[in-house]
A and B are shown apart, each in its own frame.
Chain A
Amino acid sequence: MQKVYTKIDSIAGNVITVRASGIRNGDLAMVTSAHGESLANVIKLDREEVSLQVFSGARGISTGDKVRFLGVPMRISYSDDLLGRIFTGSGKPRDNGPELTENLIEIGGPAVNPAKRIIPRNMIRTGIPMIDVFNTLVESQKLPIFSVSGEPYNEVLARIAMQAEVDLIILGGMGLKFDDYLYFKNTLEKSGAMSRTIFFVHTASDPTVECLLVPDISLAVAERFALDGKKVLVLLSDMTNFADALKEIAITMEQVPSNRGYPGDLYSSLAARYEKAVDFEGAGSLTILAVTTMPGDDVTHPVPDNTGYITEGQFYLRHSRIEPFGSLSRLKQQVNSDTRDDHRALMDGMIKLYAAYTEALEKKSMGFQMSEWDDKLIKYGEMFENRLMDLSVNIPLEEALDLGWEILAACFEPKETGMRSELVLKHWPKEAS
């Protein structure tokens, strides 16, 4: 049953309204204007008045344009034919390949029953000590990189993706700069990973509404592959653009903003996407690594703030390093009891000392006399930064742990570390003591 309407009552932002009946919430429509065709979906119903957001934007749409309701919600084709392909946010090919129309699945489906979830158990090794030792990444984790623009967050994302042993990579790009898009594409091609990658890309020059669809479409596809037994890694860059698109639509719909113009349901909207990360018992898994750029380097900005409350930790990227403070993996304790017996103690102990180092540094910068203890801390902090924090370091976890002890031994007496004697005795490098 496809109905066609030829009178658009109002156009505001990217939202149009038409008078129609028998229309279902969430359904798709095709809007045909002088500029071509665009999909739109129903976001609100009030008696006869149907509000739709137009995927390619409402610019240039006229009141006499044609709206044809399709009677189905937004869907995407699901099959192995997706592999190696590049699509827009609404699932249209961006490469020169054919359009896929077979085996359509719904996007934005229901949540996983918490009772069906399992405790995450597999560490993802990255070779980056700030991750492997201090903020261990775990399969099925949802975790963003918090960063200001200008930092190499996409490089870090790509590096982890290349290093991680996954079956499938899905890149959801939102407001992606064209250069970054090419960077991802080239990196994946060079490493031969392109054939197990799917791109859903919205670039900075594409219509906003398509940006809104990217996470849902990427995650719907990822979820299906995971159910079919694949280990899927979804990269989402940049979720702040997604949040801004949500803000735009909320303002158009005249919703009361809660905080700096963002809608009150920002938390729920972000959570609905991030919570798709899952490890299916007896099937595959879905891991989400995202980028959240922080406007004004302000972590209390509503987007990073709400994100931090949703995700299972975050990597705080600043000055091209993953910061020891602010960075966190909430799933690390699921895996770091089985790596090595000193992992946990070293992870906490070294950061505690690093915190003391920053205090000593402050003291130094104020021109105060440095005590012997302060000098030790300064030495320690610098070694920590150069030998463990630097992003160019690429070593396995075990080596990084050994290096940790080496640094401690080069700077401190065992009893100054605040760690359990038994452990210190066991791991303290022999030549140093």
Chain B
Amino acid sequence: MAKKGGRVTGINGNMVTVEFDGDVSQNEVGFILLGDQRLKSEVIRISGKIASLQVFEMTGGISVGDEVEFSGLMLSVELGPGLLTQIYDGLQNPLPELAIECGFFLQRGVYLNPIPDKSWEFTPRVKVGDSVFPADTVGTVPEGIFTHRIMVPFYLAPSAWTVESIKPAGTYAVRDEIAVIKDSKGNKQSLSMVFPWPIKRPITQYLERLQPKEPLVTQIRIIDTFLPVAKGGTYCIPGPFGAGKTVLQHMTSRNADVDIVIIAACGERAGEVVETLKEFPELIDPKTGKTLMERTIIICNTSSMPVAAREASVYTAVTIAEYYRQMGLDILLLADSTSRWAQAMREMSGRLEEIPGEEAFPAYLESVIASFYERAGVVTLRDGSKGSVTIGGTVSPAGGNFEEPVTQATLKVVGAFHGLSRERSDARKYPAIDPLESWSKYPSVIDMAKVDYARSILFDGHEVSQMMKVVGEEGTSVEDYIIYLKGELLDQVYLQQNSFDDVDFAAPIERQQVVFDVLFKILGAKLQIEDKKTARSTINEIRQKFVDWNSVARNDERFEMYKNEIEELVGGQFVEYEGKAAKILQVK
């Protein structure tokens, strides 16, 4: 293809208009030539001979008449072994390498190889003459704790290709030729361990998409028990500023039971990424015995980095997630914050002078959000193995009000909603997920009947507390008052969880089950209590034991001690199980 070019005709913020010759395609990458710098941009509108480009860099110093080069390629990422443990910007530029080259500051126009030039121990899986399809595995390399499949590039024609040559087992550089395949017409294609894929196109190399059913354990009690997430599912965390979205995602990225976690820090604070970046290489994942970093990839386009690259960053992240899903792995993508991504679209839409929708967001906001979350899923691959991509996105609604376009568009498509409440975070009730408003369509790790029963106590307790605001404590019966206290107890010792406590920060499933059982028996019990004062002091005492219990490790001898103490404490006042609770317990 002949090199196509053009010249800058206008600059408005990070949008540049270019008069071009030849053909230019939508989402094609172009470079603005500024002295010896090449500034990466993406075509976002074409009208006659004028293309509008969003520039992924600061536009200071560009002038009308500057030369532009079009690449003929859509905005893509490089896929291959070596992605794990990397820290990329929104365009897959490796930030640590950039720091070595440029120092403290990000320098525009510097684009380094995303996949490091490294050699890998290759084991072939096919032999000459074999027939392969795109996404079939031709060999494997060990990448940290995983077997990384070297696959036939996804972009090749979806037909049978014949293996013409394949390298024997051995060590090869990542960009070396490891195989040659040819199609039925004899067209040859050389394969290395890396290939590109355009980020805005989902990877659909699977046989079938399945219903997300298997719980994705986060070790956060309120989520796993009451508002579960499923592997291959989607969920969102909207909440006002400072309510705890990032802390929640951070804890999830540490403790979630998945193979790989991809963190997309999209338009938020750089400092928050640094915590992950510095901590993860030190933290050992109990499941693998290796550091957490070995299962992590960070895409980091923080708020002061160029806005257009922020828009790209979530796609970069999800594309890499889909790539590893093709290896039969479970991937969790955590995006913080999807609102910043939406705002990046809004900024661009404004510069394009498109007709604004609600709060000036573009009219296509909803469909773009929907198709992003659609890229999650559990799939069966051609070799029969299963892989999944789970997407959890935070939403930062203006004014903390969920009645705004991004939250609303997201709620329409996700499978679980973890809404954070200002009231709860103000009162330091963390995680500040509102247990009454939030919902999930996925199955819990705990018997649903019990969970529903506990939830009803929460609702009833809340109702009583609202009533008390009208009629006072004096106008409330002891029975109702106890329900209220039980709701409070459940909240304080189970829903709330201290992310900064060495033990409490992660509650494995087995522990959740043990604790929940004890708690359930208290919630379901009719207690011998005559007056409100005794009720409060009894519940206080139980609460105190739970607080202490939550902070001792599972293998600590005091674990059983506290459990017994709580059971004894309740036993003293126990009359019988309340009807519904009795039934649930009998069935068991």
Which residues does A use to contact B, with CB under 8 Å?
21-27, 44-48, 73, 108-120, 227, 255-259, 263-265, 267-268, 271-272, 275-276, 280, 300-302, 305, 308-310, 312-314, 325-326, 328, 330-331, 333, 337, 344, 348, 351-352, 355, 362-363, 366, 368-369, 371-374, 415-416, 418-422
Contacts and interface: CB of A to CB of B under 8 A. Distances in A.
A264 B59 contact: no
A305 B107 CA distance: 31
A330 B242 contact: yes
A114 B427 contact: no
A143 B103 CA distance: 26
Contact of A369 (B61, B108, B472, B541): B472
Contacts of A325: 426-427
Contacts of A368: 472-474
Contact of B343 (A117, A227, A264, A272): A264
A106 B441 CA distance: 53
A253 B346 CA distance: 17
Given A119-B278, A275-B270, A23 B303 contact: no
A271 B540 CA distance: 45
Interface string B166-202: 0000000000000000000000000000000000000
B51 to A, nearest CB: 15
B347 A264 contact: yes
A351 B63 contact: no
Contacts of A305: 241, 398-400
Contact of B60 (A73, A276, A351, A363): A73
Nearest to A324: B426
A300 B500 CA distance: 29
A344 B10 contact: no
Given A45-B64, A420-B551, A309 B360 contact: no
Contacts of B271: 117, 120, 312, 331
Contacts of A47: 9-10, 64
5 contacts: A352-B429, A363-B473, A371-B533, A415-B541, A421-B548
A26 B57 CA distance: 14
Contact of B547 (A22, A46, A374, A419): A419
Given A25-B63, A256-B360, A415 B540 contact: yes
Contact of A362 (B11, B427, B469): B469
A114 B302 contact: yes
A362 B466 CA distance: 12
A418 B492 contact: yes
A309 B241 CA distance: 5
Contacts of B356: 256
Interface in B10-68: 10-13, 17, 58-65
Contact of A275 (B95, B241, B303): B303
B273 interface: yes
B107 A73 contact: no
Interface residues of B, number: 81
B207 to A, nearest CB: 39
B399 A300 contact: yes
Contact of B277 (A44, A46, A115, A267): A115
Nearest to B473: A371
Which 4 pairs show the lowest CB-CB distances between chains A and B? Answer: A300-B399, A368-B472, A271-B303, A275-B304
Given A257-B360, A420-B548, A109 B105 contact: yes
Contact of A280 (B104, B108, B532): B104
B547 A418 contact: yes
- Give the interface centre of B64, B103, B340, B429 by most chain A CB atoms within 10 Å: B64
B274 A113 contact: no
Contact of A268 (B307, B427, B473): B307
A257 B428 CA distance: 35
Interface string B548-576: 10010000000000000000000000000
Given A73-B60, A351-B428, A272 B304 contact: yes
Contacts of B251: none
A113 B62 contact: no
B533 A328 contact: no
Contacts of B267: 267-268, 271
Contact of B270 (A112, A263, A415): A112
B396 interface: yes
Interface string B386-407: 0000000000101111000000
Contacts of A348: 428, 498
B544 interface: yes
A79 B501 CA distance: 47
Contact of B540 (A24, A44, A416): A416
Nearest to A140: B271
A256 B350 contact: yes
B20 to A, nearest CB: 15
A117 B273 CA distance: 9
Interface in B252-310: 267, 269-271, 273-275, 277-278, 300, 302-305, 307
B106 A110 contact: yes
A268 B98 contact: no
Find the residue from B13, B17, B103, B270 having the highest chain A CB count within 10 A. Answer: B270
Nearest to A114: B270
B529 to A, nearest CB: 15
Contacts of A257: 360
A325 B105 CA distance: 36
Contact of A44 (B11, B340, B428): B11
A25 B346 CA distance: 22
A117 B360 contact: no
Contact of B400 (A23, A300, A328, A374): A300
A274 B472 CA distance: 47
Contacts of A258: 346, 350, 359-361
Contacts of A420: 547-548, 551
Given A267-B343, A420-B551, A113 B64 contact: no
